[in-house]
Structure 1
Amino acid sequence: MDKLWAQLIEVQSAPDPWVVGGSALAALAIVTFTMSWQLTRGLITIAHEGGHAVMALLTRRKLEGIRLHSDTSGVTLTRGRPNGPGMVLTALAGYLAPSLLGLAAAWLTDQGRITLLIWSMLLFLVCMLLLIRNLYGALILLVTGGAVFAVSMYAPAEVQQVVALVVVWFLLFGGIRPIFELQRKRRRRQARDSDADQLARLTFLPGGFYVFFFRLVGVGSVVAGAYLMNPLQ
């Protein structure tokens, strides 16, 4: 256990500036182009639903399971009071989770804890797998978890560093795009049961306020994450 812990907290050397910049451009391209976004958006959904699940547990709501669908949507099933702080915080956590996870991952990257970051992602995926209640969700988590495990076990340290950086930037950039998609759907009245609209029904604030808040946190996370990973500071 001592050897494993020493390996987990081992500090890697700082990446070259071109590696950080190239990883950011790669992640931005993945999020920007429609085809690559459709193929990878499910990873943001995993973080989104994971955020709902973690907050439900923290607020002592009964977590009944998570479903991930092939259209990249998802749902987290909880039971408890239909209103109150626990329900509000659970609904609030979804759209914030990818950006905040990306920010936490950026901090670990800044500290050189690449191995700890990769194994934290693996642990998160395993916990999600235990809560999944549909076959497609289990399959996508197994594939994603298998890829992360393969990188952690067989990839050289330099490759692990690049993969970690791309994932961090992808969470930061990918946390923003669904918020703009939500705004467009709400404008067309196609998202009456969105998290923002549920929050509007639970509180005295309109749904547009929550969309603005999601966007503010997302953009702030990108700025803070970029500052943390800036190789020139």
Structure 2
Amino acid sequence: MNALETAWDRVTAISPAPQAWVVPLAALVAVVIVLEPHLWQVARNVVTIAHEGAHLIVAVLVGRRLKGLRLHSDTSGVAISSGKPTGFGVIVMTFAGYVGPSILGLGAAALLGAQRAVLVLWIGLFVVAVMMVLIRNLYGVFSLAVVGAALFALVWWGSAELQVAAAYFLTLFLLFAGPRPVVELQRQRSRRGGAPDSDADQLARLSPIPAIVWVTLFFVVNVGVLAVGGWWILRPVIA
């Protein structure tokens, strides 16, 4: 029982306020990673995990049955669920992928505002653990294991200050990263051959709304969430 109480205390602990330099530095590092091509190619794996995780979370919420998950070395992924092939639930589940990282970042920003930085990391660890049960390929196991190990090390052995800094960085990274995959998606769609199996094109087949409108919605939502979440985080620093 003591071990459970200790774990619960860690999960629900009130986090100290970040030092004055933490938020600006975390934001700067997040922006550099998103903009620098080589760093982005590695970090995009985290965005893919959030993207596919969003598909899976919404699939459960709309009553679909989870079947599996694949993460690939080219940073693509596939979340597999069963249920009705058409309808509002499928549309919401499909839409969730490209806005998922940003929405997760917004939720994390709200937790940071409530001084629950360590809870951000625990939630991330829990989601990775659930995805590990569903993963169906070796590269996916490797990707989730690396991210999960980093999160576990932070929540179990990291100091309170390190946990706060990591939570702010992860949150800001998800917020800043959200729009870039949408831009990449449209570039891919604009090339010869397009991307007929992309989420936007699937949504166009599921609804009367053209794919380009769905891409625009992805982008508008992600930029809007970046503005709101960024303001929540940076406002105390600017004030």
Please tell me the TM-score bracket, short chain as reference. over 0.9
Report whether the alignment pairs 1:18 with 2:21: yes
Report whether the alignment pairs 1:209 with 2:213: yes
SS in 2 for 1:17: coil
Moved more, 186-195 or 218-227: 186-195
SS in 2 for 1:76: strand
For the residues of structure 2 that align with 1:102 and 1:192, how far apart are their CA atoms? 28
RMSD of the alignment, in Å?
Answer: 1.3
Report whether the alignment pairs 1:5 with 2:8: yes
Moved more, 199-208 or 74-83: 74-83
TM-score relative to the length of structure 2: 0.93
Give the letter aligned to residue 163 of structure 2.
Answer: Q
Which ranges in structure 2 are unaligned for 5 or more consecutive residues? none
Aligned length: 233
Shift >3 Å, 4+ stretches: 1-4
Shift in Å, 1:6: 3.2
Q: For residues 51-96 of structure 1, give each alpha carbon's deviation from its aligned partner in whole angstroms, at most 9, with x where no partner exists.
A: 1111111111222100001111001112222211121111111111
SS in 1 for 2:67: strand
For the residues of structure 2 that align with 1:80 and 1:174, how far apart are their CA atoms? 31
TM-score relative to the length of structure 1: 0.96
Which residue is equivalent to 1:186?
189
Which residue is equivalent to 1:32?
35
Which residue is equivalent to 2:149?
146
Q: For residues 30-50 of structure 1, give each alpha carbon's deviation from its aligned partner in whole angstroms, at most 9, with x where no partner exists.
A: 010000000110110001011
Shift in Å, 1:3: 4.3
For the residues of structure 2 that align with 1:162 and 1:145, how far apart are their CA atoms? 17
Q: For residues 164-218 of structure 1, give each alpha carbon's deviation from its aligned partner in whole angstroms, at most 9, with x where no partner exists.
A: 1111111111111100101111122421111001001110111111111111111
Identity across matched positions, percent: 45
Report whether the alignment pairs 1:167 with 2:167: no
Shift in Å, 1:18: 2.2
Which residue is equivalent to 1:45?
48
For the residues of structure 1 that align with 2:109 and 2:166, how far apart are their CA atoms? 13
Report whether the alignment pairs 1:87 with 2:90: yes
For the residues of structure 2 that align with 1:208 and 1:186, how far apart are their CA atoms? 9
Give the letter aligned to residue 53 of structure 1.
Answer: L
Which residue is equivalent to 1:73?
76
For the residues of structure 1 that align with 2:19 and 2:229, how far apart are their CA atoms? 17
2:48–2:76 CA contact under 8 A, matched in 1: yes
Give the letter aligned to residue 155 of structure 1.
Answer: G
Which ranges in structure 1 are unaligned for 5 or more consecutive residues? none
- Match of residue 96, structure 1, among 91, 96, 99: 99
